[in-house]
Structure 1
């Protein structure tokens, strides 16, 4: 039996995977830099560059802090690069910013229809993000997928941070599945390495985020333009 045929659950990253990264997060990144710089435009540009975003073009360096870090890690990076705010204070401000950003995020496809089709085929579904859990739940509610999702984990949910295996193992505990029955889907190497560290059956990379085919291929069993290609990859459960 192929690895694809053994898959019973799919664990998705959020930003850059379910949501188009450029459309959803470039304006948010500029705002987080403004907050961290307390309105100093030159410092804001410096902070963006230090954390992985070109302030002119908006290009995000694959696997940089802004591409893959959680809120606390980003706050630490901003302070290390010159923000005068306290790390804890800045983390709280950024968590609030990210939660509010859910209202303006752009999905890569009709997520309710996509998740509904996967659920109808029998797959257990989860979301594991470096964002905070509140933001993930608001995103799920906004796009009508809450009823299809069996598991949600953010950096603050108690399962550890990517690329540690904890979020995957939490999904297994919530669904009764084994790691080899899970497909991990993400747009950067933190996602894929988390899957590899947990020994998931598949790691699937998508190109709707900050990674490139070149940066992701070594750690991915498959690299797709977007998540919709997963439907053709995985057989119906009753046929597996």
Structure 2
């Protein structure tokens, strides 16, 4: 890890969505129950088995860090459930889940008021993006619903053609779209998939947040800093002296 004084100023911030911008437990645990029931064709015992196979305790609703339901793409979740016995093809279940996740955006709970948060960062001069393991349509619906779509320079889902986490493709595509070098980008997420994606791309800063399924212990290896939630990010960048500066663009 570089010393803070040796780092390039951060000029772009790439956020994960679920567990980072949206409170994971309040937004997606109810959806997880619904997709499991659908995948099990309303067989309660099978639905419980599918949830367990993908990392969620069906009784408590607790989701394991870095499990399929915590960090997997829609297709990976579908693959996990089919492998565990869901009577669907992966393709059919992926299509069903994509629709349900897009609908789920309508009931999602943000971790803060996202419109003023993104407007503030944009006014500071940051280039902003969202990279999620969800589908691109769900990300755009979330941004539209919470009023920050106009502040985004980049959106990528698992189906956008840039690869999936923890591969570096989404970060590199963000850099290509904004004219930034990876070392001037911060990746912010609640799972190691997000953080290792950033590390693989060579970003300047990886920041973990605790509004998802990760814990300080589970996120320690891949994060430069761990915050309670995204509202602490502007203060962190200010304290580190890594705000928008000259020399970040290519």
State the TM-score, normalizing by the size of structure 2.
0.94
2:221 to 198, 211, 218: 218
Q: Give the deviation of 1:5 after TM superposition.
A: 6.0
For these two proteins, the number of residue pairs brought into alignment is 240
Q: Give the deviation of 1:239 after TM superposition.
A: 9.2
**Contact 2:111–2:229, Cα closer than 8 Å, also in 1:** yes
Distance in 1 (CA, whole Å) between partners of 2:201 and 2:245 is 26
> What residue in structure 1 maps to residue 140 of structure 2?
137
SS of the residue 1:6 aligns to: coil
SS of the residue 1:54 aligns to: coil
> Which consecutive residues of structure 1, in runs of 5 or more, have no partner in the other structure?
none
Q: Which consecutive segments of 4 or more residues in structure 1 shift more than 4 A?
A: none
Matched, 1:208 2:215: no
**Contact 1:4–1:233, Cα closer than 8 Å, also in 2:** no
Distance in 2 (CA, whole Å) between partners of 1:76 and 1:85 is 10
> What residue in structure 2 maps to residue 228 of structure 1?
231
SS of the residue 2:194 aligns to: helix
Distance in 2 (CA, whole Å) between partners of 1:93 and 1:201 is 37
> What residue in structure 2 maps to residue 179 of structure 1?
182
SS of the residue 1:177 aligns to: coil
> Which consecutive residues of structure 2, in runs of 5 or more, have no partner in the other structure?
none
> What residue in structure 1 maps to residue 195 of structure 2?
192
> What residue in structure 2 maps to residue 46 of structure 1?
49
Q: Give the deviation of 1:234 after TM superposition.
A: 1.5
When the two chains are superposed, the root-mean-square deviation of aligned CA atoms in Å is: 1.3
Deviations 1:149-202 (A, max 9, x none): 000000000000000000000000000000000000000000000000000000
Deviations 1:185-228 (A, max 9, x none): 00000000000000000000000001011000111000000001
Q: Give the deviation of 1:237 after TM superposition.
A: 2.7
Q: Give the deviation of 1:238 after TM superposition.
A: 5.7
SS of the residue 1:237 aligns to: coil
**Contact 2:9–2:245, Cα closer than 8 Å, also in 1:** no
Q: Give the deviation of 1:3 after TM superposition.
A: 5.9
Q: Which structure 2 residues correspond to residues 109-188 of structure 1 after superposition, within 5 A?
A: 109-188=112-191
Distance in 1 (CA, whole Å) between partners of 2:21 and 2:48 is 28
Q: Which structure 2 residues correspond to residues 16-165 of structure 1 after superposition, within 5 A?
A: 16-165=19-168
Distance in 1 (CA, whole Å) between partners of 2:92 and 2:53 is 20
**Contact 1:5–1:234, Cα closer than 8 Å, also in 2:** no
Distance in 1 (CA, whole Å) between partners of 2:37 and 2:109 is 22
